[in-house]
Amino acid sequence: MSQTTPALELKNLSVAYGAIRALNDLNLTVDKGEIVTLIGANGAGKSTTLRAISRIVNPSQGQILIDGQDVTRQPPDAIVRMGIAHVPEGRRVLARQTVEDNLFLGAYVRNDNKAAIQGDIHKQYERFPRLRERRTQLAGTLSGGEQQMLAIARALMSRPRILLLDEPSLGLAPLIVREIFSIIRELNREGVTILLVEQNAQLALQTASRGYVLEAGDCTISGPASELARDERVRKAYLG
């Protein structure tokens, strides 16, 4: 174990929706520069974990630490300001605004000048040339893959240190999935720490260095991705 403070740490985190417990006592760390994945079936609590980190759901118990600092009671905008960006499940682009305005709003928390933000928008266009072609189009008219690219590009506009990705492969053609995942790896090489939630466990474990398996709100197994990929229980349940 490294001695440095983890970029993100969850301590005994629990979330309940009314009487239903969605997440029980999760302990998780993500070190700086890592890709960590959360895998598990539908409803296992993966998205809930990300939503709790972004503070759009309230934990019923436990702590969320960013760089060792307790942010459990901070509002969602403070979390973004601390360098966490969340690419939500189902992309959730702002369908009634243009591609460029979506990117512009991704930089909402930044106070630097317009030129710097414009510069970053152009960087995103270089990374995702298809977004440049569609810059004046309403985001709702994009294809699923393009929307996923826009959701990632929009998240990057806040210049995050940690990226939370929720099911980036959902509903996309295999070719597009490969493209998206190569971009995820590229971002990680550029220094972005990544917490990846994915139903496609095989792909997730190929991409991540470590993983956690959630089952009905409980973390049952965790460890290096290569070990999880060989684990008999994981193979049976998620890798087919």
Partner 1 sequence: MTTNLFFQQVANGLAIGSVYAIFALGYTLIFSILGIINFAHGAVFTLGAYFTFTLTGTAFGFNGLLAQQKLPFSLWFPLALLGGALLAGLISVIIERLAFRPLRRRGADSLLTLVSSLGLAVAIVNIIQFLVGAEAYSYPSSALNDILTPFLFLFPDGKVPLALRVPLTEPPIIVRMVQVVIFATSIFILIALTYLINGTKVGKAMRAVAEDATTSSLLGISTDRLIQFTFFLSGFVGGIAGVLVGMSVGITGPYFGIAFGLKGLAVIVLGGLGSIPGAVLGGLVIGLGEALVPAEYIGYKDAVAFAVLFIVLLIRPQGLLGRVFIQKV
Which residues here bind partner 1, judged by CB under 8 A?
54-56, 75-77, 79-81, 85-86, 88, 92, 94-97, 101, 104-106, 108-109, 154, 158
Strand 218-224 relative to strand 162-166, pairing? unpaired
Smallest gap from residue 52 Cβ to partner 1 (A):
13
The answer to whether 142 and 99 are in contact (CB under 8 A) is yes
Smallest gap from residue 158 Cβ to partner 1 (A):
6
Smallest gap from residue 227 Cβ to partner 1 (A):
32
The number of beta carbons lying within 10 Å of the beta carbon of residue 15 is 22
Residue 58 or 69 having the CB closest to partner 1? 58
Distance of alpha carbon 13 from the chain centroid: 18
Closest to 147 measured CA to CA, from 176, 123, 187, 118: 176
Residue 86 or 134 having the CB closest to partner 1? 86
Residue 85 or 219 having the CB closest to partner 1? 85
Strand 69-70 relative to strand 61-66, pairing? antiparallel
Going by the DSSP 8-state scheme, the letter that residue 98 receives in this structure is B
Tokens of 7: 């970029």
Whole-number Å distance between alpha carbons of 87 and 153: 9
Residue 87 or 203 having the CB closest to partner 1? 87
Residue 36 or 156 having the CB closest to partner 1? 156
